[in-house]
Amino acid sequence: MIVFAAAGIAVLLSLALALARALIGPALFDRVLAVNMVGTKTVLLIAWMATLSGRADYLDIALLYALINFLGVIAVLRYYEDTGFGGQESR
Amino acid sequence: MIAIDMLSGALLLAGAALGVIGAIGLHRLPDFYTRAHAAGITDTLCAGLFLSGLAIHFGATLASVKLGLIFLFLLFTSPTACHALAKSALASGLLPWGAGAPPPLATTNTAGMPPSNP
Amino acid sequence: MKFRFPLTLTLAILWWLLSGYADALLLALGACSVAATVSLARRMDRIDQASHPLHLSWRLLGFGWQLLREIVLANAQVVAIVLTPKPPIQPQWVRVRSRSTSPLGMAVLGNAITLTPGTITVAIHGDELLVHALTDRSAAGVIAGDLDRIVPPDLEAVR
């Protein structure tokens, strides 16, 4: 059980580090990369919760989250290529 | 039973530790392109070890198959997302630290484009 | 067209693995969604060997195994670099040619290169790839064609 808790805390720690990178940037792509990593960690965290609570149903949510995470990154990049976010952050 | 728990715990911890290392790499490496390499750790080995640790915990059930599917899905999508990021970073004019502008490919006007005549 | 059956079978198995139910109503709903997906795939003109490479499945398994080994090795290198006090990196561009010229083979190779930490495929043109490498060592690996060698050589999208 202690091992389980340690693994969960480690995932939360890496989530926090990735979130910090998303906040400080500096390039837009650093932020998107960090957000992508936050998404991957969230998938792992949901799978971890599914195991902890013994409810395999949560795994479906993890799978869906992975899907949405991927689509989100692609959508942001496509939107950026089209509009450049109004030129606020040129690089 | 204890052996299985220990194996599952070891895989979990190894995966989680790799995740932290990848996130540290996100802060220690100098620019976007190098950080993308560090992010690659979390998408491949970290997720693989973590999810297989959970799968061993679940044993031979449908839940383990689902965990395998999640891993497979991450393996398919993460290089695509990574490539799309790097490609549009380059297209936006962000030059990599220490490497400068990329050499042109055989035909110059096609960075990131698929072959025109497949 | 002749790949409709394997696609249906794969989708049905996938549906059952994801749901795990076996009562009549849900099985019927599953059959409906499989049928809808197959007809959509047909409309998108994707029922071909490219989207469903059954004929290569055993060799793809071998490829997956070798790819896994390469991924573990590359991960160890990048982890060591991140944990070194002053990360010893030599980021650089690499231009390589691939043995295969088929679009599918190039796509698989490009993805495999991106999947191994330390190298990212940024662009593909014809049989040439533009790769960003983190260190001299990962660049040397790409130039030596470590991954090019293990991709099945005759991946071909046949209609």
pLDDT in tens, C80-136: 888 888 878 888 888 888 877 677 778 888 888 888 888 888 888 877 888 888 888
**Higher-pLDDT residue of A23, C55:** A23
Number of domains in chain B: 1
Phi-psi group of C102: left, alpha or beta (phi > 0 → left; psi -120 to 50 → alpha; rest → beta): beta
Q: Looking at the structure, do residues C84 and C34 belong to the same domain, yes or no?
A: no
Single out the residue of B61, B52, B67 nearest to residue B11, CA to CA: B52
Q: Residue B28 and residue C93: Cβ atoms within 8 Å?
A: no
Q: What averages of pLDDT result for each successive group of 10 residues across chain B (118 residues)?
A: 83 90 88 87 87 86 86 89 87 76 60 42
Residues 6+ positions from C48 with CB-CB distance below 8 Å: C3, C157, C158, C159
Q: Looking at the structure, do residues C87 and C141 belong to the same domain, yes or no?
A: yes
Q: Looking at the structure, do residues C88 and C26 belong to the same domain, yes or no?
A: no
Q: Looking at the structure, do residues C59 and C38 belong to the same domain, yes or no?
A: no
Q: Select the residue from C89, C108, C114 to test the B interface by mutation, using most B Cβ atoms within 10 A.
A: C114
Q: How confident is the model at residue C158 (pLDDT cuts 50, 70, 90)?
A: very low
DSSP B97: T
Whether residue B28 contacts residue C87, with contact meaning beta carbons closer than 8 Å, is answered with yes
**% of chain A with per-residue pLDDT over 70:** 90
Q: How far is C54 from B1, CA to CA, in rounded Å?
A: 38
Q: Is B77 within the bounds of a domain?
A: yes
Q: Is B97 within the bounds of a domain?
A: no
Sign of the torsion formed by the C-alpha atoms of A54, C68, C91 and B79: negative
> Which range marks the domain in which residue B51 is found?
2-92
Nearest chain A residue (CA) to B39? A37
> Which range marks the domain in which residue C131 is found?
54-150
Q: Is B43 within the bounds of a domain?
A: yes
Whole-angstrom CA distances from A67 to B70, B71, B74, C13, C74 are: 9, 12, 9, 20, 26
* pLDDT at residue B66, rounded to an integer: 87
* Interface confidence: ipTM more than 0.90: no
Sign of the torsion formed by the C-alpha atoms of C27, C29, C34 and C39: positive
pLDDT at A42 over 60: yes
Of A14, A59, A90, Cβ closest to residue B19: A14
Q: Is B87 within the bounds of a domain?
A: yes
Of C83, C119, C125, Cβ closest to residue B110: C125
Give me Rg for the CA atoms of chain B: 19
Q: Residue A40 and residue B47: Cβ atoms within 8 Å?
A: yes
Whether residue A59 contacts residue B66, with contact meaning beta carbons closer than 8 Å, is answered with yes
Q: Select the residue from B32, B35, B37, B67 to test the C interface by mutation, using most C Cβ atoms within 10 A.
A: B37
